[in-house]
Amino acid sequence: MPFGRLVLPALLLSTPLLSQAVDPARTGLPEKSAGVVSYRIAVRLSRGEAESPQSLASPADSDPGVPLRYLNGRARIRYRNITEGSSSELRFHLYLNAFRNLRSTHLRESERLQKSYGSGRDEWGNKDEFGWIRVDELELVSGAGGPAEKLRQEFISPDDGNPDDRTVLKAALPGAFEPGSEILLELRFTAKLPKAYRRTGWGPGNFFMVAQWFPKLGVLEDGEDGRSTWNCHQFHASTEFYADYGSYDVKIETPAGWPVGATGELRGEVEQLIDGYERRLFYQDDVHDFAWVTDKDYKVDEWTFEGRDKQEPRIAEILETKFGYPGEQLRLSDVKVRMLLHPEHATEAHIARHRRAVEVALSFFGSRYGRYPYKTLTVVDPCRDLEWRNLGGGMEYPTLITCGTPPILHSRALRPEGVTIHEFGHQFWYGLSGNNEFEHSWLDEGFNSYSEGRAQDLAYNKLEGNPPVGDPAHVSTFGIIPFRGRSTGSLDGLGSGAVKELTTLRRLDLEPLLELTGAKEIKALLESINFEGEILPDLGALEIIRSLPFFTYERDVPHRNLYSDRARCLEAPHTDPIVRNAWEYLDRSSYRSNSYSRPSTVLSTLERMMGYERWWAFARRFHEQARFAHPTSQDFLRLLEEHTTDMPEVLSFARDAFFTTKSLDYGIEVRQVEEPEAKGYFEDAEEEKGQGDVTEVTVHRKGEIVVPVDLLFVFEKKGLVRERWAAEGQGNWKRYVFSAVQIREYGKLREAYVDPPDPDRFEPYVGPAGVYVVDSNLLNNSWQAKINKLPARHHSLRSFLWVQTVLSFFGGLG
């Protein structure tokens, strides 16, 4: 069908004008988005640029010897101004230009992150590895002073002023784009895909991940002085999503016989074209992005998730009680799941574990936040990128997720489950709740990490199923071979550089040795033959022989997301508050901590502070208000305040945790104070005998965050005694003194806890954390009179065996 005769979806015209800001009065799940934008795109994966403006095909398409690198596309975009002001311009994301050259903002930031975090790409090869996108024609068909022949285009860099960055395109309109009005644009674009990097591009073999691939409009927001402004950020190394909800109608042309996965539903039949290509139409309403993927080698597995009876009963009861939702309204919908797997990952075990993970995710997120509203979900097994890591590990796009899969699975390691559930969770926190990821990255990554962690901890608490999976433990990997255990030591020491590397045989790197000896000539010679210095990478096989992990590693070290998130967030220094523009965090470590693990840990703490029922009612309501909207951190706090009017400490804690770098740490110290000996003057024998020993328990507040904390004392005769240290007027410490009289009555103090763990209150209960999961030191939260040397000895035994084995290995070199 000729492009110009494409019919606009009737849905768009019938959608009422709705704001995408959070509606504080909203209760219940909205059925539809505001439908602000509509994209109708035709695109071809091609071997060259289109031969004419009327065609998507290239003359090279008939030559299979020419690699597929280009996207030739045309688009018709309809956009409505739902703000209260007008605008005289448009702004588009042209994010493939992030890979145009090394001076783009994305790659400059990546280079910086690489240095600070060790991630990113070591080097770029020839020009073929770079990518770009170009808008060949941009025409205003109607609205805002149109029609105009062509719109003037200009690249801008609103975030950092980088003149080399071409990821944001500004187009001047001939007239004002008035509130409530609509514009219709037509455009033609050409893109060249980069070699796979950061989730998009061509990979080894026949893999193509096509994301951030078309000119996508930014978000027009209410501004000052009656003018509306575009929120359209450059492509940064850390974050990339913010767009309006709407409909996508995308025709994709690929070489015949290649499986294609894409956002939305496949509509109609696959159309065979005469030049060895085929065309598919994918359609989806109420999403804010579109991605697709193809690989000649994919194996396809399709099945249907049946939502009936998958609602969690306890949550349903809470929602019925709190909000009066009838059971029928809470029922989950059926979803057609399509999995595209590389042949080596299409084993029965891989498929079964992916399936169970998707079912866990659909059930958990649907039950707690509201049913998944789309009919399809495509689960993609990505290829490896240039450095043979899984391409992005996992990534989210509307109704399409990529899930990095290890080739060898381990029953106690939740891979691929973790990434599958995480990426699915983004359908809710990123997809349905469309926060501005650039400015509030924690709202999607943090909320999702928290939810994903809870889903895993709940569903995989025990080793069960077929194949059996669960009770996750620390699993180390040697190369790609998973191995249960946790090393008790490290080979580090002896300063740094060549001596250490030589003596530990961890890896051999000549460069520091040459630096050390000042052998400039040899160094120059090595450089002349492109020798990079490293002659022995850290070999997994060597590691196995060197440390015999089955013998020396701590074997049963449990792994739960609650604690791994906590450990990750506490490892990173608190250099930034959680709420901050994502590209303005100090470094990659700070971004990751403040967007993922720290908000996740704070949310776990909030859940425990508020209690299960109140929290899940709140979380449900927040998602309802955020669904098909652009929520902000302030929206979250406003609703939290509404739900915790009788618990002011919750809001106070949330403000500290999200907007400051303050930490939380409570500790306990116990001292038995002996009665002083009877020296000096005494009136009588009874007085001389004395009262007896006194027990002092001192609770310390070592962090800056002030919250009320529970204390638990266990006495030999009396049993449990509970106290609460209130937040009001709380100092740095408080001492509880149990007099000799009390000790005689209660018996000796056996155990003491500040913020004790409580199996009856927390779901799922595991480990030593109490309410404040975010407490930075759990080692000082408890005390017992009895000495138990077993834990320390156990740990030291493994350490001893590890050292002995490592030294024997190095002795063997002697």
Partner 1 sequence: MSTGTMRRFPSSIGCLKLAPWAVAQVLRSPLALIVLAALLWILSAAAVLPGHARLSDLLDHNPLAAGYEGRFLLDDLDRLHPETMVSLGALPLAATLLITFFAGGILACIGITSGRRLRVSDFLAESGRYFFRSLRTWCLFLLALILWSWAVFGGLLPFLSDLFLAGGSDTRQLVFDLGTSVVWLLGFGLLLALRRLALARLVLLERRSAVVAFFGSIGLVLRRPFSLLTAFAGLFLIWGVGMAVVGLSVNRFIDDGNRLLLALLAGMAGGLVQQGCNMASFVMARRICALDLSDREQISEPTVVVPAGVRKAETRPEVAVSRP
Smallest distance from partner 1 to CB 493, Å: 3
Using CB under 8 A, which of 128, 271, 317, 344 touches partner 1? 344
- Using CA atoms, how far residue 554 sits from 580, 699, 798, in Å, is 39, 33, 6
Q: Is 67 in the site for partner 1 (CB under 8 A)?
A: no
Instruction: Look up residue 357 and give its amino acid.
Output: A
Part of the chain binding partner 1 (CB under 8 A), chosen from 12-20, 101-109, 274-282, 550-558: 550-558
Mind spelling out the 3-state secondary structure of 687-713?
HHHCCCCEEEEEEEECCCCCCCEEEEE
Output 10 or 779, the one with its CB closest to partner 1.
779
Smallest distance from partner 1 to CB 719, Å: 15
| 207-226 residues near partner 1, rule: CB under 8 A | 207
- Whether the CB-CB separation of 803 and 630 falls below 8 Å is answered with no
Q: Which residues contact 619 (CB under 8 A, 6 or more apart)?
A: 368, 369
Q: Is 462 in the site for partner 1 (CB under 8 A)?
A: no
| 370-399 residues near partner 1, rule: CB under 8 A | 383-384, 388
* Burial letters 59-76, b for 16+ CB under 10 A, else e: ebbeeeeeebbbbbbbbb
Part of the chain binding partner 1 (CB under 8 A), chosen from 78-86, 529-537, 716-724, 731-739: 529-537
- In a 3-state reduction of DSSP, which class is residue 494? coil
- Whether the CB-CB separation of 264 and 287 falls below 8 Å is answered with yes
- Using CA atoms, how far residue 43 sits from 46, 187, 262, in Å, is 9, 12, 13
- Whether the CB-CB separation of 432 and 577 falls below 8 Å is answered with no
Smallest distance from partner 1 to CB 308, Å: 36
Instruction: State how far the Cα of 404 lies from the Cα of 480, in Å rounded to an integer.
Output: 13
Q: Which residues contact 311 (CB under 8 A, 6 or more apart)?
A: 327, 330, 331, 332, 363, 366, 367
- In a 3-state reduction of DSSP, which class is residue 362? helix
Instruction: State how far the Cα of 397 lies from the Cα of 400, in Å rounded to an integer.
Output: 5
Q: Is 791 in the site for partner 1 (CB under 8 A)?
A: yes
Output 184 or 773, the one with its CB closest to partner 1.
773
Output 85 or 757, the one with its CB closest to partner 1.
757
Part of the chain binding partner 1 (CB under 8 A), chosen from 231-239, 430-438, 621-629, 778-786: 778-786
Smallest distance from partner 1 to CB 192, Å: 20
Smallest distance from partner 1 to CB 147, Å: 47
Output 690 or 768, the one with its CB closest to partner 1.
768
- Using CA atoms, how far residue 342 sits from 198, 353, 383, 395, 442, in Å, is 19, 15, 8, 17, 32
Q: Which residues contact 695 (CB under 8 A, 6 or more apart)?
A: 670, 671, 672, 673, 737, 738, 743, 748, 749
Output 55 or 784, the one with its CB closest to partner 1.
784
Output 218 or 667, the one with its CB closest to partner 1.
667
Output 10 or 787, the one with its CB closest to partner 1.
787
**Residue tagged 């045309």 (tokens):** 74
Q: Is 783 in the site for partner 1 (CB under 8 A)?
A: yes
Output 389 or 735, the one with its CB closest to partner 1.
389
**Which helix or strand (DSSP H or E) is residue 183 part of?**
strand 182-192
Output 18 or 544, the one with its CB closest to partner 1.
544
Part of the chain binding partner 1 (CB under 8 A), chosen from 308-316, 534-542, 629-637, 694-702: 534-542
- Using CA atoms, how far residue 302 sits from 377, 378, 380, in Å, is 10, 9, 12
Part of the chain binding partner 1 (CB under 8 A), chosen from 115-123, 393-401, 405-413, 613-621: 405-413
Output 141 or 539, the one with its CB closest to partner 1.
539
Q: Is 758 in the site for partner 1 (CB under 8 A)?
A: no
Q: Is 541 in the site for partner 1 (CB under 8 A)?
A: yes
Single out the residue of 758, 760, 752 nearest to residue 783, CA to CA. Answer: 752
CB atoms within 10 A of CB 206: 16
Output 685 or 790, the one with its CB closest to partner 1.
790
Using CB under 8 A, which of 537, 573, 648, 692 touches partner 1? 537
| 463-492 residues near partner 1, rule: CB under 8 A | 479-480, 486, 488-492
- Using CA atoms, how far residue 370 sits from 48, 377, 625, in Å, is 45, 16, 11
Q: Is 515 in the site for partner 1 (CB under 8 A)?
A: no
- Using CA atoms, how far residue 260 sits from 189, 254, 275, in Å, is 21, 8, 18
Q: Is 727 in the site for partner 1 (CB under 8 A)?
A: no
End-to-end CA gap in the chain? 76
Using CB under 8 A, which of 13, 551, 671, 675 touches partner 1? 551
| 792-811 residues near partner 1, rule: CB under 8 A | 792-797, 799-811
Smallest distance from partner 1 to CB 536, Å: 4
| 407-446 residues near partner 1, rule: CB under 8 A | 407-408
Part of the chain binding partner 1 (CB under 8 A), chosen from 228-236, 392-400, 575-583, 782-790: 782-790
Q: Is 699 in the site for partner 1 (CB under 8 A)?
A: no
Structure tokens at 144: 């805002």
**Residue tagged 């696959």 (tokens):** 270
Residue 619: what are its φ and ψ, rounded to 5°? -60, -40
Part of the chain binding partner 1 (CB under 8 A), chosen from 21-29, 65-73, 180-188, 498-506: 498-506
Using CB under 8 A, which of 8, 273, 542, 586 touches partner 1? 542
Smallest distance from partner 1 to CB 388, Å: 6
- Whether the CB-CB separation of 418 and 456 falls below 8 Å is answered with yes
Structure tokens at 100: 């145009």
Cα 612–Cα 569–Cα 394 angle in degrees, nearest 5: 85
Please report how the helices 348-369 and 313-323 are oriented relative to each other, as an axis angle in degrees rounded to 10.
20
Q: Is 788 in the site for partner 1 (CB under 8 A)?
A: yes
Q: Count of residues binding partner 1 (CB under 8 A)? A: 96
- Using CA atoms, how far residue 15 sits from 10, 31, 82, in Å, is 9, 12, 12
| 148-207 residues near partner 1, rule: CB under 8 A | 203-205, 207
Q: Is 345 in the site for partner 1 (CB under 8 A)?
A: yes
Smallest distance from partner 1 to CB 391, Å: 10
Q: Is 784 in the site for partner 1 (CB under 8 A)?
A: yes
Part of the chain binding partner 1 (CB under 8 A), chosen from 167-175, 214-222, 542-550, 589-597: 542-550
Binding mask 651-690 for partner 1 (x = CB under 8 A): ----------------------------------------
Smallest distance from partner 1 to CB 25, Å: 42
Part of the chain binding partner 1 (CB under 8 A), chosen from 7-15, 150-158, 341-349, 369-377: 341-349
Part of the chain binding partner 1 (CB under 8 A), chosen from 3-11, 45-53, 547-555, 585-593: 547-555
Part of the chain binding partner 1 (CB under 8 A), chosen from 76-84, 95-103, 275-283, 557-565: 557-565
Instruction: State how far the Cα of 626 lies from the Cα of 172, in Å rounded to an integer.
Output: 32
Binding mask 578-597 for partner 1 (x = CB under 8 A): --------------------
Single out the residue of 617, 626, 579, 622 nearest to residue 598, CA to CA. Answer: 579
Smallest distance from partner 1 to CB 703, Å: 13
Cα 97–Cα 100–Cα 104 angle in degrees, nearest 5: 80
